[in-house]
A and B are shown apart, each in its own frame.
Chain A
Amino acid sequence: MPSLTVSKGSTDKPAPSSAVCPFCALLCDDLGLNQRPDASFTVARHGCSRAAAGYARAPLASEALIGGRSVPLDEAIGVAATLLKRARQPLFGGLATDVDGIRACVNLAERCSAVLDHVHGDALASMSRMLQARGWYATTLSEVRNRADLVVVIDVDVSQRYENFKRRCLDARPAPGNAPGKGREVVFIGAGKRAPEALAADTTLSCRSENLVEVLLALLATLRGQRLAARRPAGAAAGALADLAAKLREARYTTFVFTPAALAEHREPAMAAIGDLVDELNRTTRAAMLALGGDDGGQSAVNTCAWLSGFPLRVGFGQTLQYEPQAFATRALLDSGAIDALLWIDAFGEQATPPPDAPLDRTVMLASSRPSVAAQCGVFIPVGTPGLDHFARLVRTDSVVTLPLAQQRDSGLPSVAGVLTRILEKY
């Protein structure tokens, strides 16, 4: 083997001065933190309300519970292994964890023939379905920041769900090329007044959420030069549609921004319409879409599960793999009664409560916060928050950049991966 050499810089730790925030899929990496006496943090720089809430949680006491009774961690791990071993069909749900947590989930799922789904599984599955049905042309955060001279935000209050998106991708347009041209125009299509105001949108095409798909399709038809039968499709003036179509044609690089989770029941047709709008524009100019989503480790779960199994979640492990994007939805599995044990994982503290009719006595809960149902769970094991209590890697909303999250405090709480690996050893 060649001799090992060390060159300068090769072992640098991620910069300690700025923290990477794990509390949404934007993974802002320029936060300034101040630690409080209870080991929680205040966000001094570049925070948002979600970051503030997440960092304000103090680490849990390292007290595991079995049926509400406090026990040593070892005992809880043993009982968890037994509970999973006795199950015929366990579901690993929530899955709000980091890449290593998902790796450990997959290894354990192979042993106990479990099914994997994420707490945001419905929105994630819609994205997978779009990918598998038609594909898309997508872009990433830095491209939007620099390249997009027209950003169309679709029916979601980005400023509320992803506060820092505006700061990072809409406010400045540094544009490294020598042909940046004009600045950036922001258009909002959808319901409500608050969103366009908060985004400082230059143009708003108002419509009710339930009419969004119709408006998008009318815009597509206008772009294609087709005549609209309706004078005001879904209440939108034909003139406004024509103006927006002209803007889209003239723009050099349009980005359609949307949040699959917020599109609710109109999600899939709306996403398909956005895909069609992008394809139409790419015939003559440049356009792409950016989906904001995959919070609570969702993007990490989808990607890690895909490289290890070939399938983007809702996959069952048995003698072979089984991919059932509808039947293996958490809701569907609970409704059908097919599940006789649940491993519920939430390391970020926002999704700790399992769905209402989960079989709590046969639930192993790994969480970084302690919901009231924790005491009713078969086993409750407190875990650390990725990027606060232990080093972690998380995949960003655009599925390209994976951030390293340095440990910020020494709580002694184990990681999800650590706990699951020990359960596997006891299994």
Chain B
Amino acid sequence: MLTRLKGGRIYDPENGIDGEVRDLYLRNGRIVEAPADPREAKEVIDISGRVVMSGAIDIHTHIGGGKVNIGRMMLPEDHAKDLVGANRHPHLGCGHAAPSTRTAGYRYAEMGYVACFEPAMLAGNARQTHMELADTPMVDKGAYVLLGNDDYLLRALAAKRDAEFLRDYVAWTLNASQALAIKVVNPGGINAFKFNQRKLDLDEKNAGYGITPRQILTALADSVRALGLAHPLHVHGCNLGVPGNVETTLDTIRGLEGLRAHLTHVQFHSYGTEGDQKFSSGAARIAEAVNAAPNVSLDVGQIMFGRTITESGDSMRQYAGSAYADPKKWVGMDIECEAGCGVVPFRYKDRNFVNALQWAIGLEMFLLIDDPWRIFLTTDHPNGAPFTSYPHLIRLLMDGSFRRDMLATINPEAQAATTLGAIDREYSLYEIAIMTRAAPARSLGLKGFGSLAPGARAHITVYKDQANREKMFAKPDYVFKDGQLIVRNGRVVEEVHGATHVVHPDYDSAIERELDTYFDRYMTVRKDNLRVTDDEVRDDGRGELVVHPTKRST
């Protein structure tokens, strides 16, 4: 059936369309050319005056896997304040900071999102991660698998194995874990924490292997380039949260020497040591470096005031952060000679100097980086704030007077320490559409996403144009996924299951034999039992597998 969405104002940056009034036609889950006679459309939905964008994409949100589930189990008190009843969603659920899988899917859809990416999957935990993602309805999804703290890679680097071998290992890991991209977290630092190192700078050697974070970053970024993955190496850098880490981040950008990388939750990596409290904003310096480095993209990891939980693979830094747990409980783990995790409940307070300045630093970053194609809107859910705060964040970016009003309410010393009040920039709807749609689709290589051109998947969000952008983005009038109306007036009307996006680059099968030997000697699971099969991802119809091309796929 042909459906006509009539008279909407279209924001489609992928195709250079900035607020033009046009009709959209949908058929069989795709956007199609306008027919010669508009009356061919059997269904006409009048959306005159409304704002139309493609479905939104969250490039970095912790929605599935072991540490997310620890967060859920830890926070019954948080869930109790946010129970989702049978009259609200197709299935029961709960949770504001650590929502149940189904609730997360419904709420993302109700904000106009059609795809969400879990950025920190462990190969050893990939099966569980995919089962959780399969139980996250409404949205498409995918995951980035962690490398760079696994003893196998560090051993290979210490043995000076060649680039070809590393590429094979990276490719094997992507296949085995059914991942879309590679992420590195505190390169070598999580492993170093197991050898009782408490910090690891970019050029400091890991005690177990004599390898530096810089070596790991370069090796992985080069492997990702050689494999031809759409998404560059996803980097959670060294020294997260440490005052002075702006220097580390600038060094990291320089150290890439032109290799592509995505720096994630950069707000947490942009701190200086100026001022009475030895904590200051490094946002301007990072923005300057990023503006001059076209090989680098980033997401912000904006914080919002209130309660949340921080869930990270960075056991080293989470151990340090556990002193500030609120309430006083936290979980740390060393995991399978591969990774670690730290789960720490936290409350960001607007009256606290450091928290208030973190809030300002994130906003400075958004406003000082020129190119919206290289900066994505995230709160590093739930680490900076739950994803449900995105509409509020969009208002802060689009509405300068609202932003200044909010600035006036935070810790006065933080107000004095930020340049935020002097920045007039306001994001346009077109720029919001870039950073939440077109740019993440391009960065992840999601063909057919982030576009409203004929041939694109019919992922469409229709908003009432309201001066209060928070209200506007919190509750779209219509959300279509693959042409199907799934949300009406901000409420789920149809439950659907999304697909999982992966890459399957080829590798030399010789590495399988070497890995078999390694696993049999060192690990407590056999190599082949880590592998998540295609059928498992499809999971009896809960999911669908979309395999994206790489330079190395046959």
Contact = CB atoms under 8 A, between A and B. Distances in A.
Interface of A: 1-15, 18, 20, 29-30, 99-100, 103, 107, 110, 128, 131-143, 145-147, 168-169, 174, 176-179, 252-253, 282, 285-286, 288, 302-304, 306-312, 317-321, 323, 393, 395, 399-404
A14 B536 CA distance: 11
Nearest to B344: A135
Contact of B525 (A2, A29, A282, A320): A29
Interface in B511-554: 512, 521-526, 528-529, 531, 533-536, 540, 545-549, 553-554
Given A135-B74, A310-B94, A400 B332 contact: no
Given A132-B73, A139-B333, A320-B86, A309 B131 contact: no
A393 B196 CA distance: 34
Contacts of A145: 522-524
B452 to A, nearest CB: 17
A143 B73 contact: no
Interface in B198-233: 207-210
Contacts of B549: 2-3, 5
A137 B335 contact: no
Contacts of A7: 175, 504-506, 547, 553-554
B155 interface: yes
A168 B523 CA distance: 9
Contacts of B331: 131, 135-138
B70 interface: yes
13 contacts: A9-B175, A12-B528, A12-B533, A103-B135, A136-B331, A138-B331, A139-B333, A143-B334, A147-B334, A176-B152, A178-B209, A286-B195, A308-B91
B522 A146 contact: yes
A308 B84 CA distance: 12
Contacts of B540: 100
Contacts of B208: 177-179
A308 B334 contact: no
A235 B131 CA distance: 49
B291 interface: no
Interface in B98-112: 98-103
Interface of B: 64, 66, 68-70, 72-76, 79-80, 83-87, 91-95, 98-103, 122, 124-125, 127-128, 131-132, 135, 151-152, 155, 158, 172, 175, 193-196, 207-210, 319, 325, 328-338, 343, 447-448, 457, 504-506, 509, 512, 521-526, 528-529, 531, 533-536, 540, 545-549, 553-554
Q: Which residue of B64, B343, B521 has the most chain A CB atoms within 10 A of its CB atom? A: B521
Given A30-B526, A310-B100, A143 B335 contact: yes
Contact of A286 (B80, B102, B194): B194
B79 A323 contact: yes
A393 to B, nearest CB: 6
Given A7-B505, A138-B331, A142-B523, A319 B135 contact: no
A80 B336 CA distance: 43
Given A10-B175, A143-B334, A310 B74 contact: no
Contact of B74 (A8, A107, A131, A169): A131
A400 B335 contact: yes
B522 A174 contact: yes
A107 B263 CA distance: 40
A280 to B, nearest CB: 14
Nearest to B80: A323
- Which interface residue of B85, B124, B338 has the most chain A CB atoms within 10 A? B124
Contacts of A307: 64, 68-69, 72, 100-101, 131-132, 135
B479 to A, nearest CB: 19
Nearest to B333: A138
B175 A309 contact: no
Given A8-B509, A176-B337, A310 B528 contact: no
A138 B525 CA distance: 18
Given A140-B524, A395-B128, 7 more contacts: A1-B457, A9-B175, A10-B533, A10-B534, A131-B331, A177-B151, A401-B124
B450 to A, nearest CB: 14
A321 B95 CA distance: 11
Contact of A401 (B125, B448, B534, B546): B125
A426 B75 CA distance: 35
A116 B503 CA distance: 38
A393 B127 contact: yes
A11 B135 contact: no
Contact of A140 (B72, B333, B447): B333
B524 A179 contact: no
- The prevalent SS among residues of B at the interface is mixed
Given A9-B175, A142-B525, A309 B194 contact: no
Contact of A14 (B92, B509, B529): B529
Contacts of A138: 331-334
A319 B86 contact: yes
Contacts of A310: 72, 76, 79, 93-95, 98-100, 103
B83 A321 contact: yes
Contacts of A179: 195, 207-208
Contacts of A29: 525-526, 529
A313 to B, nearest CB: 10
Contacts of B329: 131-135
A18 B531 CA distance: 15
Contacts of A308: 91, 93, 100-102, 135
A212 B79 CA distance: 35
B194 A143 contact: yes
A163 to B, nearest CB: 15
Nearest to B342: A137
Nearest to B548: A2
Q: 8 tightest A-B contacts by CB? A: A177-B208, A7-B504, A141-B524, A402-B127, A310-B100, A135-B329, A176-B151, A320-B83
Contact of B76 (A136, A303, A323): A323
A134 B512 CA distance: 42
B85 to A, nearest CB: 5
Contacts of A306: 69, 72-73
A161 to B, nearest CB: 17
B380 to A, nearest CB: 20
Contacts of B79: 310-311, 321, 323
A417 B528 CA distance: 25
Contacts of B535: 11
Contacts of B135: 103, 307-308
A14 B535 CA distance: 12
Contacts of B336: 140-143, 400-401
Nearest to A107: B91
B100 to A, nearest CB: 4
A16 to B, nearest CB: 10
Contacts of A1: 447-448, 457, 546
Nearest to B151: A176
Contact of A99 (B94, B131, B172, B335): B131
A59 B103 CA distance: 39
Of the candidates A8, A253, A306, A404, the one having the most CB atoms from chain B within 10 angstroms of its own CB is: A306
Of B70, B75, B92, B135, chain A has the most CB atoms within 10 Å of the CB of B92
A5 B504 CA distance: 8
Contacts of A178: 158, 208-210
With most chain B CB atoms within 10 A of its CB, the pick from A128, A307, A312, A319 is A307
A100 B535 CA distance: 14
Contacts of B73: 128, 131-132, 302, 306, 311-312
A317 B92 contact: yes
Which of A9, A100, A288, A399 neighbours the largest number of chain B CB atoms within 10 Å of its CB?
A9
From A137, A310, A321, A404, residue with most partner B Cβ within 10 Å: A310
Contacts of A5: 504, 547, 549, 553-554
Contacts of A131: 70, 73-74, 329, 331
Contacts of B210: 178
Contacts of B337: 142-143, 146-147, 176
